[in-house]
Amino acid sequence: MTELPARRLLLVHAHPDDESINNGATMAKYAAEGAQVTLVTCTLGERGEVIPPELRHLSGAALGQHRMRELTEAMRALGVDDVRLLGGPGRFADSGMMGLPDNDDPACFWQADVDTAAALLVEVIREVRPQVLVTYDPDGGYGHPDHIQAHRVAMRAADLAAEAGCPLAKVYWNRVPRSIAEASFARLHEDLPGLPFAKPAALDDVPGVVDDTRITTEIDGTAYAAAKAAAMRAHATQIEVAEPYFALSNELAQPLFTTEYYELVRGERGPGDRETDLFAGVAAATEGKAP
């Protein structure tokens, strides 16, 4: 039996780069504080659009392998050393954007049986024994089929893990408060002339924007802003960074958030108007031993 760290965080994401954009500062903070941070990525992102011209020859399996190397470098920047591909590398293929023929590929994640994929995630939960799970909302943040499926698989795995005697104390969805997003876009419009991006994204392009009242938790990651930016830069096929902004392959600028926000959807909320710790209210007695 191996003694587990007192705090254990599991994040479930769809593709390499999603973790750095959504949770990079949070991951760096908890890793630096000695928590066990485990990332499960569900696909290799084989159908992602590539930004640098010199890398646009990459596609399919070759792009997936390259993006896995980018993920390894990004996690090095965040100080995270436990990264898993759900079911192993290549088990589930990238499904492409919603509505494309790629969605019909029997090998893609969108077509996966939810219980089968969730059982693979339960294996990780049984090993790592996380108290806290972070994933997407039911829309996957912005409607990508792999993000929606990651949500379904993560939530189903939480149920199955509880049935197996490995309950999660808290489950969070990634969020951005509307007031913060609006203020950040106002600054972006002022700063745009000095940026390498021609146009701004729209507020609706930011995944998980909700009314401020939905936000239960904010994690101040400003001390880890450089780590988050470095992790995002590591995903060079997908992201161009010009702090405190970035752009995806659409070349539309959007804010790079270093305070990251969440909605607690399962578990007991910590004290105060907003939690400032994902582990707020998690009893120290939940320390455990790995099987």
**Full-model pTM:** 0.95
Burial of 186 per CB tally in 10 Å (0-12, 13-18, 19+): exposed
Question: For residues 206 and 181, is the Cβ–Cβ distance under 8 A?
Answer: yes
Q: Which residue has the higher pLDDT, 271 or 59?
A: 59
Average pLDDT over residues 108-132: 98
- Mean confidence (pLDDT) of the chain: 95
15 is known to lie in a ligand binding site: yes
Average pLDDT over residues 221-243: 98
Say if residue 288's pLDDT is above 70.
no
Say if residue 286's pLDDT is above 70.
no
The DSSP letter of residue 218 is E
18 is known to lie in a ligand binding site: yes
283 — pLDDT class (breaks 50, 70, 90): confident
Average pLDDT over residues 87-110: 97
Average pLDDT over residues 51-76: 98
Average pLDDT over residues 224-241: 98
- In the 3-class helix/strand/coil scheme, how is the chain assigned residue by residue? CEECCCCEEEEEECCCCHHHHHHHHHHHHHHHCCCEEEEEECCCCCCCCCCCHHHCCCCHHHHHHHHHHHHHHHHHHHCCCEEEECCCCCCCECCCCCCCHHHHCCCEHHHCCHHHHHHHHHHHHHHHCCCEEEECCCCCCCCCHHHHHHHHHHHHHHHHHHHCCCCCCEEEEEEEEHHHHHHHHHHHHHHHHHCCCCEECCHHHCCCEECHHHCCEEEECHHHHHHHHHHHHHCCCCCEEECCEEECCCCEEEECCCEEEEEEEECCCCCCCCECCCCCCCCHHHCCEEC
How many other CB atoms sit within 10 Å of the CB of residue 89?
15
Q: Which domains does the chain have, with CATH numbers?
A: 8-177+207-229+259-266 (3.40.50.10320)
Average pLDDT over residues 138-162: 97
pLDDT at 229: 98
Average pLDDT over residues 74-100: 97
pLDDT at 3: 83
Tens-digit pLDDT profile for residues 25-46: 999 999 999 999 999 999 999 9
